[in-house]
Amino acid sequence: MEKVIIIRYGEIFLKGKNKKYFENLLEKNIANAIKKYDCRIEKSRTRHFVEGFREQDLDTILDTLTKVFGIHSMSVAYKMPTDITKVASLIINDLPDADTFRVTVKRADKTIPLTSTEIACEIGGDILKLNSNMTVDLHSPELVINVDIRENKISYIYFNTIKGLDGMPVGSAGKGMLLISGGIDSPVAGYRMAKRGMQICGIHFHSYPFTSHLAKQKVVDLSTIISEYCGDFNLFVMPFTKIQQSIHDFCREDFMITVMRMIMMEISETLAKRKNCGALLTGESLGQVASQTLESMTVSNSRIKDLPVLRPLIDMDKTEIIEISQKIKTFETSILPYEDCCTVFLPKNPVIKPKLATAVSEYNKIPNLADMIDECLNNIEIIKITNAKQDVII
Ligand code: ATP
Ligand code: MG
């Protein structure tokens, strides 16, 4: 009997006229995620099916699909031509171990003259005849045998449902430029925006040799982990050393971080527009550090002309952010000790409530800043981040 994976949608269901667009995008993302496996994707009115895979690939395909946004749930099902009299004999040897069971029938095929309950009784009775050790328990059975009878004379039988991530298909909500550091927060921010359907690309400010190659590698590693959810993307590594050195040389110590963040936002917006991004994304959370107070964020926003800055973690506690980073497996990499460019020149007492006028006057103290920004934008290292897992060849 053929095994298939049934894929059910999440919020796409709520979409009206353009539901087709979302379904097609989800199908494209599913196909892309599992392209290295020998299998095909079929579509019915409200579901997708993965079919024709090798049994040994099933677990890894399921694992991959649990990272695709837009999927509400999945079930591994036996697919068979609809024939109620044959269901019990076909599945009897494949039933999971259980003492008690219930049959639940969904009947989309209205040409069958029996009700769902009558069909369930028939199939349940046949199972009892074939396995006298099992008994029926309608209220809290150990095993639920789901029989889904479709209109096209095909039935699906399954015993379990695996939860998906929900969210919207990546690519359905525009593109955002994620300011990604090596910390805990920004990879989580990228994950959360991709969950709402946003395609991301990454920008990282690197201050070699103040920050090491290992610090950059850490950002590449974090990007690779989140690309399992967000899809492949470009990471733009910005040479920031010269600007950072100038901030250190010319600005008041307590305003160093404030000015640095103003410049980071300014450069990020310029690059974002060049790459057709409609928003900047950061991992900021209100009040987490001095640079994330309302006043500090107002100042760093002041250098941005057009794009919105989305801060998906703004209302979250660090513990909540850590919980997500553990779930998506970025945490272990994020806590590696390599320093970020934000930490190398960390002032002892950074200003917590910077005044915009003072910040602007500190910003204006940096000589040739416009040229240095141009130089930074003209010397970007582009790293292609891909989640393509390599096959292990034995
Ligand atoms: P994270 O854990 O993401 O590093 P954080 O708590 O360390 O955040 P900050 O260092 O103040 O906070 O950074 C705030 C946000 O600024 C980050 O979430 C990220 O979006 C951005 N950011 C910080 N450093 C960099 C960098 N070197 N390159 C790009 N973006 C950065
Ligand atoms: Mg940081």
Q: Structural domain boundaries of the chain?
A: 2-163, 175-393
Q: What does the pLDDT average to over 319-329? A: 98
The answer to whether the peptide bond before residue 312 is cis (omega within 30 degrees of 0) is: no
- Residue 131: other Cβ atoms inside 10 A: 15
The per-residue pLDDT for range 201-212, each reduced to its tens digit, is 999 999 988 888
Question: pLDDT confidence of 137, banded at 50, 70, 90?
Answer: very high
3-class secondary structure per residue, 219-244: HHHHHHHHHHHHCCEEEEEEECHHHH
What angle do the packed helices 241-250 and 256-274 form, to 10 degrees? Answer: 150
pLDDT of 343 over the 70 cut: no
Residues lining ion ligand 2 (Cβ < 5 A) are: 181, 183, 340
Which residues, at least 6 apart from 367, have a Cβ–Cβ distance to it below 8 Å? 246, 250
What is the average pLDDT score of the chain?
93
Residues 6+ apart with CB under 8 A from 20: none
Instruction: Output the CA 317–ligand 2 centroid distance in Å.
Output: 15
- Tell me, letter by letter, the H, E, C secondary structure of 155-212: EEEECCCEECCCCCCCCCCCEEEEECCCCCHHHHHHHHHHHCCCEEEEEEEECCCCCC
**Distance between start and end Cα atoms, the chain:** 30
Whether 251 and 150 have beta carbons less than 8 Å apart is answered as: no
2-163 placed in CATH 3.40.640.10: no
Q: Separation of 291 CA from ligand 1 center, angstroms? A: 10
Residue of 181, 288, 345 to mutate, ligand 1, most atoms within 8 A of C-beta: 181
pLDDT score of 239 more than 50: yes
Cβ distance 149 to 82 under 8 Å? yes
Domains 2-163 and 175-393 share a fold: no
The pTM is what?
A: 0.92
Average pLDDT over residues 188-201: 98
Only one residue has tokens 């796409």, namely 12
Average pLDDT over residues 224-234: 96
384 Cβ contact list (under 8 Å, min separation 6): 232, 234, 235
Q: Rounded mean pLDDT of 293-306?
A: 96
Are the C-beta atoms of 366 and 246 separated by less than 8 Å? yes
Instruction: For ligand 1, say whether the CB of 340 is within 6 Å of any of its atoms.
Output: yes
**Is the pLDDT reported for residue 390 higher than 70?**
no
Which ligand is nearest the CA of 191, by number?
1
Give the pLDDT band of residue 301 (cuts 50, 70, 90).
very high
Q: Looking at residues 372-388, what average pLDDT do you find?
A: 94
The rounded distance, in Å, linking the Cα atoms of 328 and 291 is 26
Contact 134, 125 (CB under 8 A): no
**Closest by CA position to 154, among listed 109, 123, 121, 118:** 109
Ligand 1 geometric centre to CA of 386 (Å): 22
Helix axes 58-65, 19-33, angle to 10 degrees: 130
Cβ count within 10 A of residue 38:
9
- Helix %, strand %, coil % for the chain, to 5? 40, 20, 35
Q: What is the pLDDT of residue 230?
A: 95
Protein residue closest via CA to atom 10 of ligand 1: 342
CATH class of the domain whose range is 175-393: alpha beta
pLDDT at 341: 62
CB 140 within 8 A of CB 70: no
Question: Residue range 262-288: average pLDDT?
Answer: 97
Q: Confirm if 226 and 194 have CB atoms less than 8 A apart.
A: yes
